[in-house]
Structure 1
Amino acid sequence: MLDLDRLPLSRKQLTSIGQATARINLWHGSVRSGKTIASLLAFVIAIATAGPSGLIIICGRSLQTIERNVLEPLQDRALFGPLARHIVHTRGATTAVILGRTVHLIGAADARAEGRLRGLTAQLAYVDEATLLPEGFWTQLLARLSVPGARLFATTNPDSPRHWLKTGYIDRAGELNLRAWHFRLADNPSLSPEYVADLTAEYVGLWRRRMIDGAWVVAEGAVYDMWDEARHVVAELPPMRRYWCGIDYGTTNPFAAVLLGEGVDGRLYVTNEWRHDSRAKHRSMTDAQYSAAVRSWLADLTISPEWTFIDPSAASFSTQMWQDGHAGVARARNEVVEGIRSVAALLAAGRLLVHESCTGLLDELPGYSWDPKATERGDDAPIKSDDHSADALRYAVHSTAHEWRHLLTLAA
Structure 2
Amino acid sequence: MSMNDLLTTKQQEVLHSYLADDYKMMILTGAIRSGKTFIDNLLFLYELRRTAESAKKRGKIHPQYILAGASSGSIQNNVINSLRNQFGIELSPDRHNHFHLYGVDIIPVYTQSIRGLSGARGFDSNGAYINEASLANQFVFQEILNRCSEPGARIICDTNPDQPQHFLKTDYIDNEKPGLKTKSFRFTIDDNTFLAPDYIQQIKAATPTGMFYDRNILGLWVSGDGLVYRDFDKNRMVIQQSQVPNIVKYYCGVDWGFEHKGVITVWGDDSKGNIYMLEEHTSQFKYIDYWVKVANKIRDKYGKGITFWVDSARPDNYSEFLRAGINARNADKARMAGVERVSEYMKQCKFFAVKDGMDQFLNEVYQYVWDENTGEPKKENDDVMDSMRYAIFNEHKENTTQFLNSKYF
TM-score calculated relative to the size of structure 1: 0.52
Tell me if 1:68 matches 2:77.
yes
Cα distance 1:4–1:106, how it changes in 2: closer, same or farther (>3 A)? Answer: farther
Pick aligned residue for 1:88 from 88, 91, 94: 91
Cα distance 1:191–1:139, how it changes in 2: closer, same or farther (>3 A)? Answer: same
Contact 2:30 2:219 in 1 (8 A): yes
Tell me if 1:198 matches 2:202.
yes
Question: Which residue of structure 2 aligns with residue 27 of structure 1?
Answer: 28
Question: Which residue of structure 1 aligns with residue 259 of structure 2?
Answer: none
Which SS does the other structure have where 1:58 is aligned? Answer: strand
* Post-superposition offset of 1:173: 4.0
154-163 vs 99-108, which deviates more? 99-108
CA–CA separation in structure 1 for the residues paired with 2:94 and 2:45: 20
Tell me if 1:216 matches 2:225.
no
Gapped runs of 5+ residues in structure 2?
232-362, 387-409
CA–CA separation in structure 2 for the residues paired with 1:56 and 1:225: 41
Cα distance 1:27–1:92, how it changes in 2: closer, same or farther (>3 A)? Answer: farther
* Number of residue-to-residue matches in the alignment: 243
Which SS does the other structure have where 2:108 is aligned? Answer: strand
Question: Which residue of structure 1 aligns with residue 345 of structure 2?
Answer: none
Question: Which residue of structure 2 aligns with residue 13 of structure 1?
Answer: 11
Cα distance 1:91–1:121, how it changes in 2: closer, same or farther (>3 A)? Answer: closer
* Post-superposition offset of 1:69: 0.3
Which SS does the other structure have where 2:157 is aligned? Answer: strand
After the TM superposition, which residues 5-404 of structure 1 pair with which residues of structure 2 at under 5 Å, given as runs? 5=3, 7-20=5-18, 21-50=22-51, 51-52=54-55, 53=60, 54-76=63-85, 79-80=86-87, 84-85=88-89, 87-90=90-93, 94-175=97-178, 176-203=180-207, 204-218=209-223, 223-225=226-228, 369-372=376-379
Cα distance 1:74–1:342, how it changes in 2: closer, same or farther (>3 A)? Answer: closer
Cα distance 1:145–1:15, how it changes in 2: closer, same or farther (>3 A)? Answer: same
Cα distance 1:144–1:49, how it changes in 2: closer, same or farther (>3 A)? Answer: same
RMSD of aligned residue pairs (Cα, Å)? 3.5
* Post-superposition offset of 1:343: 12
Which SS does the other structure have where 2:128 is aligned? Answer: strand
Which SS does the other structure have where 1:191 is aligned? Answer: coil
Contact 2:368 2:377 in 1 (8 A): no
CA–CA separation in structure 2 for the residues paired with 1:343 and 1:215: 23
* Post-superposition offset of 1:6: 7.7
* Post-superposition offset of 1:7: 4.9
The one-letter code sitting in structure 2 at the alignment partner of 1:214 is G
CA–CA separation in structure 2 for the residues paired with 1:148 and 1:164: 26
The one-letter code sitting in structure 1 at the alignment partner of 2:193 is P
Identity %: 26
Cα distance 1:174–1:227, how it changes in 2: closer, same or farther (>3 A)? Answer: farther
CA–CA separation in structure 2 for the residues paired with 1:342 and 1:6: 49
CA–CA separation in structure 2 for the residues paired with 1:90 and 1:131: 25
TM-score calculated relative to the size of structure 2: 0.53
Contact 1:173 1:179 in 2 (8 A): no
* Post-superposition offset of 1:212: 0.5
* Post-superposition offset of 1:115: 2.4
Contact 2:66 2:129 in 1 (8 A): yes
* Post-superposition offset of 1:126: 0.6
Which SS does the other structure have where 1:138 is aligned? Answer: helix
Gapped runs of 5+ residues in structure 1?
229-337, 345-363, 381-412
Which SS does the other structure have where 2:75 is aligned? Answer: helix
Cα distance 1:121–1:211, how it changes in 2: closer, same or farther (>3 A)? Answer: same
Higher CA-based Rg: 1
Contact 1:109 1:134 in 2 (8 A): yes
